[in-house]
A = this chain, B = another copy of it.
Amino acid sequence: MVKQERAVRTRRAVLEAAAHVIGIRGYQAATMAEIIQRAGVTKGAVYFHFRSKDALARAVIREQTEPFVPPVSDSRLQDAIDFTHQVALALRSDPLLQAGTRIAVETTFSEEPLVPYQAWTDIITAMFADARDKGELLPAVVPERAAEFFVAAYMGVQLFSRAATNRADLPERVTALWRHTLPGLAAPGALGHLDPQGRSARIAV
């Protein structure tokens, strides 16, 4: 039991060290040597959990979405707005999210992209599908297509914010993203009730 707990802690330390190094150096430039050094564990322990940098990248991609629990309220479209603002705030400091972005953009140009966006698209698709069932969407909107578009647009907005202000203006840019896309997503009856700034902007974070 104690042994297992230690293994879980070691694995987490390695994953966080990898995220930290990838977030600073980039995915291609990050080395296993630096990740091992940063994790402060033995080389054997690292390779016990992750056989390669590729395996580490896949774990970062898979686990980056885990801490985020999408809100559930009467308006699933507002929940989606709030969720994307929650992720935007976390992107400023969460090493796994920051590493996930770098892995995403770098592997985009490789022979086998890791498709790191799938988990995000699945979360948004589920929320848009619920919104459709509640009559919040325009009839022509297909939840999965709309989610694919939205997640791609969010990635672009996020990269621009990183380049322009090191993500300081990301909440405003996410608000602008919703302002520009809600009229093409939301049914007229729902549109007036939605706050593109997110409800978290009105309550303590």
Residues of B within 8 A of A26 (CB): 28, 106, 109
Residues of B within 8 A of A117 (CB): 160, 163
Contact of A176 among B104, B145, B177, B183 (CB under 8 A): B145
A159→B108 contact, CB < 8 A: yes
Which A142-184 residues sit within 8 Å CB-CB of chain B?
A: 145-146, 148-160, 162-164, 173, 176-177, 179-184
B157→A152 contact, CB < 8 A: yes
Residues of A within 8 A of B (CB): 26, 28-29, 102, 104-109, 113, 115, 117, 138, 145-146, 148-160, 162-164, 173, 176-177, 179-185
Beyond contacts A155-B156, A180-B184: 20 other A-B pairs, Cβ-Cβ < 8 A, are A26-B28, A104-B159, A104-B163, A105-B105, A105-B106, A105-B159, A108-B159, A113-B164, A117-B160, A117-B163, A149-B176, A150-B180, A151-B156, A152-B173, A156-B157, A179-B184, A180-B185, A181-B184, A183-B183, A184-B184
Residues of B within 8 A of A185 (CB): 180
Minimum CB–CB distance from A82 to chain B (whole Å) comes to: 19
Minimum CB–CB distance from A123 to chain B (whole Å) comes to: 16
Residues of B within 8 A of A157 (CB): 149, 152-153, 156
Task: Please report the C-alpha to C-alpha distance between residue A81 and residue B106 in the assembled complex, in whole angstroms.
Answer: 28
Known A-B contacts A152-B157, A156-B157; A108 and B176 likewise in contact (beta carbons under 8 Å) = no
Give 12 CB contacts A-B under 8 Å: A104-B163, A105-B159, A107-B163, A117-B160, A148-B176, A149-B157, A152-B156, A152-B157, A153-B157, A153-B177, A181-B181, A181-B184
Task: Please report the C-alpha to C-alpha distance between residue A142 and residue B189 in the assembled complex, in whole angstroms.
Answer: 24
Most buried by B among A104, A162, A184: A184
Task: Please report the C-alpha to C-alpha distance between residue A117 and residue B180 in the assembled complex, in whole angstroms.
Answer: 19
